[in-house]
Chain A
């Protein structure tokens, strides 16, 4: 199994801030890394696929980068609707996949 380690597990930020979340798989996965946003009581939503590609309809405030064993999700100019939990997910071993443990973004 490929283990996914996200950091931080939570962070507090203000509206307008720029934040970065890191995801490190236990082995190299090329660019097979996706990012999701989940709000309480709702299903996750795909934000970024293949490390850096913005999914259809997702605001350009979100961006992804990285390859191999080091990936980041960046949110520029944080908006009230961005306060949520974010998960990375590897698809290198599709159809067997794994999620990171999540990063909760809270309002400071």
Chain B
């Protein structure tokens, strides 16, 4: 069974740094994208960014570019989300999720079309930033 296991809850002070992790189990290769999603209390899901485990290609949401750093360790199939200086407004739940896909054959002759989705999710890491 494929699963993503996230690191435990964190309590930090403003200005401190933090690195949380998301380790994949049951994956038979590193050809996977793992992304991060923020969920603040009372708010909706926010896409933060994503990393390809095999070559560390990383994409950030414009809202989070420069605010966080996403990295990975291919050998352990682990993705990381890092802050250099936390703010109280960073308090919330952070989920990792892997990008799956489904291939459809359409047209004549059949041409493959790929559709992507977040199919495997970690249970989330709660981050609390308070003085």
Contact = CB atoms under 8 A, between A and B. Distances in A.
Interface of A: 1, 31-32, 34, 36, 38, 43-46, 49-50, 53, 55, 85, 87, 89, 91, 94-102
21 contacts: A1-B62, A34-B118, A38-B45, A44-B95, A44-B118, A44-B121, A46-B119, A49-B117, A50-B115, A53-B115, A55-B117, A55-B119, A95-B33, A95-B52, A95-B99, A97-B35, A97-B47, A97-B118, A98-B61, A99-B37, A99-B46
B123 interface: yes
A35 to B, nearest CB: 9
Given A43-B122, A44-B121, A49-B102, A91 B116 contact: yes
Q: Main secondary structure on chain B at its contact with chain A?
A: strand
Contacts of B95: 43-44
A45 B120 CA distance: 8
A101 B59 CA distance: 21
Contact of A96 (B46, B61, B97): B61
A96 to B, nearest CB: 5
A91 B47 contact: no
Nearest to B118: A46
Nearest to B119: A46
A98 to B, nearest CB: 6
Contacts of A91: 115-117
Contacts of A98: 47, 61
A94 B118 contact: no
Contacts of A53: 102, 115
A50 to B, nearest CB: 4
B115 A95 contact: no
Contacts of A50: 102, 104, 115, 117
B44 interface: yes
B62 A101 contact: no
B50 interface: yes
A36 B44 CA distance: 12
Contacts of B124: 43
